[in-house]
């Protein structure tokens, strides 16, 4: 039985701030910082947005593009590292908001930036074993960087939702595999508002080792070359890492460009690969082959080999805004308004 993507939806908040504006406040050359990270601007959630509202918007967009009855959804997994509640699932609210309750299983997932793709894998298993008809996997975050920290220039917000099933799939997931080790490159303790990172530890032994290993395993198992794929999407904490990773593996800039959103919206953490993949699906056509590798600190990588099917021709892609449409029509914030939005001003 073929298992794959039946529908998908994306969401990015409308507000933006530039590295130059953040640097202006902290006495740092933000423009140079942005160039170094390859981030031109980042998305900022409105004060009334959080992972639950972002996940809901993405899921509603996903449902509006297909005719699946929400009552046929058997599972919803919301992957994030910024769930609004420590205890109380985000997924139940999303389930209610898309009218999928009560006959389904729901759980929130956390694996730094790859909890969304972990949700896709879980749904694939449940659909493949015929335990459920359809499963929903969502990756979404409203990540915070401590004021003045390097992460403040990249940490942003957004998410994407995937309806996984076996009927009328617009993209077949040919294979998925993961590479996982215990690597303390980035973490956030319960109760602390901002994450910490292991500095230099985040590059070579973390991001590059895990994505590189998962990617090479996939190429070897599928007996493919990078040139066999039309598109490649890699986790994108900044714009630089995925470009370098692609080059090391033998993928070209052209293969990576459509799924590289960090320059326009920053690092959406759990939303990053789900959104990058959504941007690729937005422009893909039947027969296109997509290579996608997510990365979550802590650490692990989930790789996917995907082929777009003929069903993409009749798929109602225009029933919801594409990622590219979300990147137009933005509202820019100065740091003062940004600080107010992010709750960085303590009200007396």
Q: Determine the length of the chain.
A: 348
115 touches another protein (CB under 8 A): no
Residue 149 Cβ, how far from another protein at the closest point, in Å? Answer: 22
- Considering beta carbons, is residue 1 or 347 the nearer one to another protein? 347
106 touches another protein (CB under 8 A): no
Q: Check if the beta carbon of residue 190 is closer than 8 Å to that of residue 86.
A: yes
Q: Which stretch binds another protein (CB under 8 A): 29-37, 95-103, 152-160, 222-230?
A: 95-103
Q: Which stretch binds another protein (CB under 8 A): 226-234, 240-248, 274-282, 323-331?
A: 323-331
Q: Where are the alpha helices (DSSP H) in the chain?
A: 19-26, 30-37, 51-64, 90-97, 115-128, 209-222, 240-249, 253-257, 262-265, 272-283, 323-327, 335-341
Is 210 in the active site? no
340 touches another protein (CB under 8 A): yes
82 touches another protein (CB under 8 A): no
84 touches another protein (CB under 8 A): yes
Among 148, 250, 287, 343, interactor with another protein by CB under 8 A: 343
- Considering beta carbons, is residue 204 or 325 the nearer one to another protein? 325
Residue 46 Cβ, how far from another protein at the closest point, in Å? Answer: 6
Question: How many CB atoms within 10 Å of residue 8?
Answer: 27
Alpha-carbon distance values, 238 to 25, 259, 325 (Å): 21, 13, 21
3-state secondary structure 113-159: ECHHHHHHHHHHHHHHCCCCCEEEEEEEEECCCCCCCHHHHCECEEE
Residue 324 Cβ, how far from another protein at the closest point, in Å? Answer: 12
Alpha-carbon distance values, 101 to 7, 69, 128, 318 (Å): 19, 12, 22, 27
Q: What are the residue numbers of the active site?
A: 81, 113, 235
* Contacts with another protein, residue ranges (CB under 8 A): 13-15, 46-50, 52-53, 56-57, 60, 84-85, 93, 96-97, 99, 321, 325, 329, 331, 340, 343, 347
């Amino acid at each position: 039985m073929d298992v794959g993507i039946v529908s998908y939806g994306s969401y990015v908040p409308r507000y933006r701030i530039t590295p130059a504006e953040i640097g202006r406040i902290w006495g740092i050359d933000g423009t140079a910082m942005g160039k170094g990270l390859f981030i031109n601007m980042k998305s900022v959630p409105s004060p009334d947005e959080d992972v639950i509202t972002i996940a809901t918007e993405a899921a509603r967009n996903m449902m509006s593009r297909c005719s699946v009855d929400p009552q046929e959804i058997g599972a919803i997994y919301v992957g994030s590292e910024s769930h609004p509640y420590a205890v109380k699932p985000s997924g139940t609210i999303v389930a209610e908001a898309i009218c999928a309750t009560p006959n389904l299983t729901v759980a929130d997932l956390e694996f730094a930036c790859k909890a969304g793709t972990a949700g896709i894998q879980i749904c694939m298993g449940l659909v493949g074993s015929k335990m459920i008809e359809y499963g929903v996997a969502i990756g979404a975050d409203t990540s915070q960087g401590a004021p003045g920290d390097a992460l403040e220039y990249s940490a942003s917000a957004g998410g994407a939702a995937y309806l996984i099933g076996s009927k009328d799939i617009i993209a077949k997931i040919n294979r998925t595999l993961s590479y996982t080790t215990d690597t303390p490159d980035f973490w956030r303790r319960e109760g602390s508002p901002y994450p910490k990172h292991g500095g230099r530890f985040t590059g070579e032994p973390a991001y590059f080792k895990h994505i590189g290993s998962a990617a090479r395993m996939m190429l070897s198992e599928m007996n493919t070359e990078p040139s066999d794929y039309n598109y490649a999407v890699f986790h994108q904490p900044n714009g630089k890492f995925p470009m370098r990773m692609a080059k090391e593996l033998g993928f070209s800039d052209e293969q990576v460009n459509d799924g590289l959103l960090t320059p326009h919206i920053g690092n959406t953490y759990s939303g990053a690969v789900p959104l990058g993949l959504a941007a690729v699906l937005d422009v893909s056509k039947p027969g296109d082959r997509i290579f996608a590798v997510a990365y979550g600190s802590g650490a692990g990588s989930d790789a996917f080999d995907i082929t777009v099917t003929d069903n993409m021709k009749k798929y109602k892609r225009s029933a919801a805004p594409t990622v590219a449409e979300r990147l137009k029509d933005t509202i820019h914030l100065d740091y003062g308004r940004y600080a107010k939005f992010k709750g960085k001003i303590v009200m007396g």
